[in-house]
Amino acid sequence: MADNIEDVIIIGGGPAGLAAAVYTSRATLKPLMFAGAPYGGQLMLTSEVENYPGIPTIVGPELIERMREQVREFGTRIMDQNVLKVDFSKKPFKITADKDYLAKSIIIATGAQALWLGLESEQKLRGKGVSACATCDGFFFKEKVVGVVGGGDSAMEEALFLTKFASKIHLIHRRDSFRASKIMQERVLNHDKIQVHWNTEILKVLGEQHVEGVSLKAEGKTSDLKLDGLFIAIGHKPDTDLFKGHIELDEKGYMLTNATSALAGKKLPAFNPKFQTGTSVEGVFAAGDNVDHVYRQAGTAVGMGIEAAIDAERWLEETAT
């Protein structure tokens, strides 16, 4: 069993967790961070980042390293380990990694992962023309021809967003109808830049150093389609399996906080509108892509991480005995 009780433990080492570490460490809470293995979240898989305020251009891994260096300077202890188990049933809270640790408060910032097609060629070209975020990478495809894979609202949104940059968008869907909302379908089907490929499966992403096209299968026939980029929009999965049964999640596995549950017309058991990042367990806060399934940007994750840190600090002050 742990010998001492931490003021705050941060679970997750991406932008949200690191932002929370900046604020909690500057508040002299001496946070202990479990950054995961591998650490850094989705930014570690991102090549050029040009939309992070104050930094004109940087590669994702370098941005994470800068953040890690900053929080270490403020006194955050970083452990590049995965948390294996949590117990939020009583205070102090207990988390288990290489051993048991106790904490007065917890900030969960485990993020989410894009779902991929599972092709070896796709993984090889991630960050080299294969992306799961049009908002992040669309700018790099001005006057280029790109593909989007998917049939839900996310795929429609990606395709429509890319029309601002690309000269042509090929929307590739394995079925004969979309599952997206009708209004999104209409916008896509009526857009002159978007061509839909129904009942079509991607067999391989073509190219060695960057995306050059895709090999397709439709109606039993195979063909190649030239592309400059490929956006995978088949969904995201929040990294929240560890917390099932411990805090309240929505039907897709995203964590419900006081802010998001209120918007959904729900009321969490530990509801306190003052702590917007609070979860169904009082003293446990959540931030980043494990909560946010709308924006999924490094900047928005940072903002939520800051909110969670301030909430945790104020909650600790209020509950101090």
- What does the pLDDT read at residue 262? 76
Whole-number Å distance between alpha carbons of 63 and 263? 32
Residues 213 and 306 reside in one and the same domain: no
pLDDT tens column, 106-120: 999 999 988 999 999
What is the rounded average pLDDT for all residues in the chain? 93
- What does the pLDDT read at residue 96? 97
Can you give the CATH number for the domain in which 197 is found?
3.50.50.60
Task: Spell 279-318 as b/e; 16+ CB within 10 A means b.
Answer: bbbbbbbbbbbbbbbeebbbebbbbbbbbbbbbbbebbee
The catalytically annotated residue of 3, 7, 80, 137 is 137
- The tally of domains found in the chain comes to 2
Respond yes or no: is residue 224 known to be catalytic.
Answer: no
pLDDT tens column, 214-270: 999 999 999 999 999 999 999 889 999 999 999 999 989 999 999 998 777 778 877
Question: Which residues, at least 6 apart from 176, have a Cβ–Cβ distance to it below 8 Å?
Answer: 198, 199
Residues 62 and 135 reside in one and the same domain: no
Taking a C-beta distance cutoff of 8 angstroms, is the pair 203, 215 a contact? yes
Respond yes or no: is residue 133 known to be catalytic.
Answer: yes
Residues 103 and 245 reside in one and the same domain: yes
Residues 100 and 173 reside in one and the same domain: no
Residues 226 and 123 reside in one and the same domain: yes
Q: Domain end: 182, 199, 232, which one?
A: 232
Does residue 1 carry a pLDDT above 80? no
Is the pTM of the predicted complex or chain greater than 0.85? no
- What does the pLDDT read at residue 64? 95
Respond yes or no: is residue 136 known to be catalytic.
Answer: yes
pLDDT tens column, 261-312: 877 777 887 777 889 999 999 999 999 999 998 888 899 999 999 999 999 9
Whole-number Å distance between alpha carbons of 12 and 39? 8
Mean pLDDT confidence for 145-173 = 95
pLDDT tens column, 180-205: 999 999 999 999 999 999 999 999 99
pLDDT tens column, 18-46: 999 999 999 999 999 999 988 888 788 67
The catalytically annotated residue of 7, 136, 228, 289 is 136
Does residue 7 carry a pLDDT above 50? yes
The catalytically annotated residue of 7, 133, 289, 292 is 133
Q: Which domain holds residue 287?
A: 5-113+236-319
End-to-end C-alpha distance for the chain, whole angstroms: 23
